[in-house]
Amino acid sequence: MPANISAAKPLFRPEMPLYGAILFLTEFIRGAVLISFLPIYGNKALGLNLDVIGIAVSAHYVSDTMVKLSIGYFLHRAGVKLVVGFGLLATLAGMLLAGYAEWPWLFIAASALLGIGISPIWIVCLSQVKEERRATQMGILYTVWLVGLGTGPVASNLLLERGLGLAYWAMVGVSVASCLLSLLIPAASQAEVSVLPFAKQLAQLTSRLREMKPLLPGMVLQTLAAGMLLPILPSFAGNHLGMSPSQYSILLFAGGAFTAIGLIPMGRLSDRYGKQWFLAAGFCVFGLTLFALTLKPPVALSFVMAGVLGVAYAAVLPAWNALLAAYVPPNQRSLGWGVFSTVEGLGGMIGPSMGGLAAASLGEPFVVGFAGAVFVAICIVYLLFPFRLFRG
């Protein structure tokens, strides 16, 4: 072989396929648990009210965010194998506990354990991304994330229709499988994450928040409105739209499929015609469609609306990521994206509790309509506010 010809560099490090498989299983569990299993199993099998279910979903996001803030320290000190393995054991413990948690506090604790276990593997996967091939590698990671997160609730709903116990033990089985895979992680594996003293992290966090403050209200409101829907969607689909669990699965699949299909063309169109209009239009259509669902449309029309929601989300996501990227300094990418993740997590912490409490007193249609109104208000903000990206 001539000296100037070298073997092509692999796309990922050797451990990445294993990390990707674990990521798929953990996101499968997250999607199944948050979008279908906790709301349905908690209500029908354990007799828990929607307010308790909402608080449990919030507890999941609280523990998830807390782990993300400290995960760099633990990965640096203990290594990938131990941290990921311990996290997945926490997920398994949470799943086992959730099946028999008839007391509200125990159900909430089980959901919090699930949040602890799912966080580490995502951070480890991000640490393996090489800067020179970031776009390709991030595209693959997001595909694994989206497929896992999307197939989880669909599979869970189909199993729940055949039996609550069957769905529960299937989720336990997936948790066991992820734990077994973690045993295959090489003991010497390390994650390239920065470790800073807490005081320095806090100072940098404050500095970044000051720079990014135009984005903060919209970031919190978006995740808050979306979080409000999580604990009530299955009961809303069943009680208000008259759907069976399998029809609800089709609804979720339709929304996810149209999102996946629309991401690339919507991204290209927003680059060509302006991200501000796609961002505003996406949120507006999303909000108005949610409000239309409160009017008790026929099941067939509900499926069409789910497709519209998917397309609207596909319009929002590329433009939103570009807007965030405009506020991330090139030399502080990790810190900038970490700040965004933490702020968005605030809405995830508060939203499910608000949604569950509101649904328990005012009904599920009120929560869906209120979330729709919030998304329309966000649309107006993005039309009027002169963000840096929109100024060129």
Stretch 104-124: mean pLDDT: 87
Contacts of residue 120, defined as CB under 8 A and 6 or more positions apart, other chains included, come to 67, 71, 74, 75, 83, 84, 87
How far apart CA 146 and CA 341 sit, in angstroms, is 17
CB-CB neighbours of 307 under 10 Å: 18
> 70, 202 in Cβ contact below 8 A?
no
Q: Full-prediction pTM beyond 0.85? A: no
SS3 208: helix
Q: What is the pLDDT of residue 74?
A: 77
- Asked which of 62-66, 71-75, 132-136, 154-158 is least confident by mean pLDDT, the reply is 132-136
**pLDDT tens figures, 176-199:** 999 999 999 887 766 655 555 556
How far apart are alpha carbons 275 and 316 in whole angstroms? 9
> Hey, what are 264's tokens?
């690339």
Rounded CA-CA distance 95/29 in Å is 9
Look at residue 191 in the predicted model and tell me its pLDDT.
61
> What does the pLDDT average to over 230-247?
88
Residue 339: its pLDDT value, please? 65
Structure token digits, residue 364: 């599920």
How far, in Å, CA of 144 to CA of 349, rounded?
24
**What is the rounded CA–CA span in Å between residue 163 and residue 174?**
17
Q: Which residue has the higher pLDDT, 225 or 66?
A: 225
- Indicate if the pLDDT at residue 55 is higher than 80: yes
In this prediction, residues 138-157 reach a mean pLDDT of 82
For residues 63 and 116, give the distance between their C-alpha atoms in angstroms, rounded to a whole number: 6
What's the whole-number mean pLDDT along residues 306-313? 91
What end-to-end distance do the CA atoms of the chain give, in Å? 49
- Of residues 3 and 320, more confidence is placed in 320
The proportion of the chain whose per-residue pLDDT surpasses 90, expressed as a percent, equals 26
The pLDDT confidence band at residue 1, using thresholds 50, 70 and 90, is: very low
Q: What is the mean pLDDT of residues 71-88?
A: 82
pLDDT value, residue 306: 92
Count CA atoms within 13 Å of residue 10 on its CB side: 8
CA distance 15 to 80: 11
Is residue 108 within 8 A of residue 59, CB to CB? The reply is: yes
The answer to whether residues 310 and 262 touch, using CB atoms and an 8 Å cutoff, is yes
Q: What does the mean pLDDT of the chain come to? A: 81
Could you tell me which of 152, 76, 147 has the C-alpha nearest to residue 114? Answer: 152
- Pair of tokens at residue 69: 């803030």
**pLDDT for 47 beyond 80:** yes
> Is the confidence at residue 142, as pLDDT, over 80?
no
Which residues have a Cβ under 8 Å from the Cβ of 38 and sit 6 or more positions away?
53, 56, 57, 98, 111, 231
Q: How far apart are CA 218 and CA 221, in angstroms?
A: 5
Question: Quick check: helix, strand or coil at residue 292?
Answer: helix
In this prediction, residue 158 carries a pLDDT of 86
Residue 99 scores a pLDDT above 70: yes
